[in-house]
Structure 1
């Protein structure tokens, strides 16, 4: 009789399992840093669901056969299926499903409840959506768990529940290099707020885009500059104040390291740039802070100059996201 090693899960794995197993939502996206045990965690989720009678069968779909073999190995070593479950676990690849999408279902009853585990969805791309939609439509009482080491190019809409393995794991440099973009409903603002990406990790262009998005959310008409020969202006934002007329503002982004402050000379240049552009007010936006001299100059000309420093940015991001959530009900 085979002896199984006790399986000790990390707290972040158990936290995900508790959240996932107590819900009944049809689609969950789990972003897990490399090396955090996503395959084992998904296997435990599957075996617990089978044992609890929540699903009848489990299908793992991945980009490579090797992951399917690893999935089976987990079940043979540390995380076995319930002894009376029978042959419930099936593995396949995206390529095999694409070639013959109906092959998996020809002899499966329509009322079968599946747990569909779609692994490596960042590799498979947009085809995952079509495969998952067809599977869930065919077996409507099923659930789909999408697993990735980065944010995949999928339309993650309100039908999805978004999970990730801890901000500490996802903040690792090797993981941060993989997290490039979020789907439309989880944009750059959400990346920063959820600590999936740090302000310091943004490229200079992403930082400018972040500012432009928040100004648009505040009701401005925004012109994002091209980044070359723009005279130190990164964003031009205009707002109609009604009887007070048009308010034109220019914004200069300084993506500095946390401890590298913006000095007085930069603020002086910004004041001259405001005059050149005939703007009502000029703002410096930075991922760091301003020196005391720079702050004094901004305060002196507070009707012409403004600043958004690291602390102001955090509050602005939170305010923008709260506004978006309220607008969406």
Structure 2
């Protein structure tokens, strides 16, 4: 076995101790297991022609493993090309937000206040209804370590439950108007699940790369995000929709805010995505005027969804991100068109030099 390992390592420096992560694909792993299953070669001074044949069988398969590993390493899945949009109402809204981002000055703290919410579906003792559950959030992120560590607060203890429709309200009252409860037993109340990072669909993992390492060019930013996904999980089934909603999450970042140049690049990347359309002048859930842009996503679990970004008319402030049901799916069969599946609402978000009322954990100055 040691001789085999030495030969593989000499043929391909990528291989690590004990063959580490050489199985870069199912095929490579199969070939590797085949090699490891070979019986050790008998050490005999006299070899028959058959023995000489088997002597070269292992290196031949080993070379196949090396070839597969090198192919997977040097020729990874390609990033799909994109047809870039360069005009239109949605393009104008997002490019204006990008310009506002570039003109923004940072401060000692990135501070946000708002609320997040989602629609819950309950079936308890024959009572079936939908509730919209929301709770307040607040975050502080310092740019200087002397100001402490960033904190994000999700105050689920102040969760509000609101029936979605009049019929839901009647069914909710008939069920005893249960309140939030951490106990999973439905007889004790309604369990509030963690706010998901959007629809949890196969092949649509969230982006978890380092925002500080993202490029400031929108084309390179797109490439960086998709490359990260390819290398850490899999290429999204619908890259443009994935970039739209993951870009919105970057703009809404609580604990790792974007620098103004990267924030501007995200807005420009969104502006160039095919399928983004304008909603015109709208109002956010708090009644504030906003400019809306949206993109449609088709899913099997939650049906057809519309991702909406509501942007302040004269700044880069992303006031709200909401996901509206256009057509229900398997996981939300009672959702009527227009139902808000998810909501991330910001009352305020921006840079400030004013510290929080209470020092952040680890702060050495006030």
Is the structural similarity TM-score above 0.5? no
With the length of structure 1 as denominator, give the TM-score of the two structures: 0.24
Q: Which has the higher strand share?
A: 2
With the length of structure 2 as denominator, give the TM-score of the two structures: 0.22
Which protein is bigger by CA-based radius of gyration? 2
Q: Which has the higher helix share?
A: 1
- Ranked by relative contact order (alpha carbons within 8 Å, sequence separation 6 or more), the top structure is 2
